[in-house]
Structure 1
Amino acid sequence: MLSEGVFDAARHAPRHTPSSAPFDAIIDAPFGKVGIRAGEHTVREIVYLPADVEAVDPASPLAQEAAAQIRRYFDTPSMRFDLPLAVRGTAFQQRVWRGIGGIAAGQVWTYGQLAREIGSVPRAVGQACGSNPLPIVIPCHRVVASGGIGGFAHHPGDGFFRDVKRWLLAHEGVSIA
């Protein structure tokens, strides 16, 4: 459930690294691990982690529910998330993330298509995608470059994050180089 979210002025700049706060859960994923940070009432952050990070049992009912829904996604990529989210970002980032929320599983849009949809430019859309604090739930992996897969999580080259994006797209039935 992508709501209007919460604007936190102290965190309005694009974030290039995840928070250093401890995770409320770390679960196994087909590509490594997924870290979840949840407050009492909202999921605040989801982070892709390498396989060698140790799993952490969910520390709260909300972290447990987020973990369960992410695991369901790994089984059924068309499932729809229903989590209370703390969507922190600029008004523009939130507009991009709402646009991403409209892309169905198994479909991809280019940064340019999404930019046209929301009245922006591709580079700005790409920056907002890379700053998404709730990947998988806000499926930024479904936004690709016009000439191929594009970057992921502010990592333009090949490596772990692009491999995660490839896995997520393949899991949803999308084949892209």
Structure 2
Amino acid sequence: MDRIEWLAVPSPLPSGPLAVGVTGQGVAAVQFLAAEVPAGAPRCADPHRADAVTQAFAAYFAGHSRGWTLPLDWRLVGTEGQRTVLETLYRTVGYGETVTYGRLAERSGAFADLAGSPGLAARAVGQMMGNNPLPVVVPCHRVVAADGLGGFGSGRVGLDVKRWLLTLEGWLAPTLDWDGPG
């Protein structure tokens, strides 16, 4: 198994640049607060891989790309159930669309044992979104509460990131302080 190497990717997000972990298989991790990448973590030495990742994120943030063609390395996904839910999200909720936590739980089929407790399944999906090692690319920002926006990791900055991404994708209307592409 090859190691994860890191690169900083410029981002217009309220959280600043992203730290993206890549392997020979693909993108393995995305972190919003690039300063949280451990000091001494190996840096991506492959300029072609770094270029492909940087260009893909730049195109998305500029509003020129509505899908991801980067290969993914799912190694940091915690459990089989979480992978099922994240893969369902990745495959079935497109750019500019959203799904509720409860609907994603149903759609994934990962919670048959909680069929009589849809609230528990929805909360489990919420926890899985909070532990998504591939945010933005596996779009946990597109998972919303039945009665509103729902949460997002990293507190206030996280909610600002979720709003920014949903505004970029046209699900939320831009506010006067919107600083995204045209």
Give yes or no for TM over 0.5: yes
Partner of 1:45: 29
* Paired AA for residue 170 in structure 1: T
Q: 1:151 Cα shift? A: 1.2
Inter-partner Cα distance in structure 2 for 1:141 and 1:147 = 15
Residue 82 (structure 2) pairs with residue 93 (structure 1): yes
CA RMSD of aligned residues (A): 2.6
Match 1:104 to one of 85, 94, 115:
94
Q: 1:172 is matched by which residue type in structure 2?
A: E
Structure 1: stretches of 5+ with no match in the other structure: 1-5, 7-20
Q: Output the amino acid matched with 2:27.
A: V
Are the aligned partners of 1:36 and 1:43 in contact in 2 as well (CA < 8 Å)?
Answer: yes
**TM-fit CA distance, 1:75:** 1.6
TM-score w.r.t. length of structure 2: 0.73
The Cα shift of 1:29 comes to: 2.5
Consecutive unaligned residues in structure 2, runs of 5 or more? 38-42, 112-120, 174-182
Aligned residues between the structures: 150
1:96 Cα deviation after fit: 0.7
TM-score w.r.t. structure 1 length? Answer: 0.74
Q: Which runs of 4+ in 1 moved over 4 A?
A: none
Matches within 5 A, 1:12-161: 23-31=6-14, 32-49=16-33, 59-60=45-46, 61-76=48-63, 78-88=65-75, 89=77, 90-101=79-90, 102-119=92-109, 120=111, 121-153=121-153, 155=154, 157=155, 159-161=156-158
Give CA-to-partner distance per residue, 1:8-46, whole Å, 9 cap, x none: xxxxxxxxxxxxx87323323343211111123322111
Q: Deviations over 1:57-94 (max 9, x none)?
A: 96422222111101110122652111121112211011
Moved more, 70-79 or 98-107: 70-79
Choose between structure 1 and 2: higher helix proportion: 2
Larger radius of gyration: 2
Counterpart secondary structure, 2:84: helix
Percentage of identical aligned residues: 38
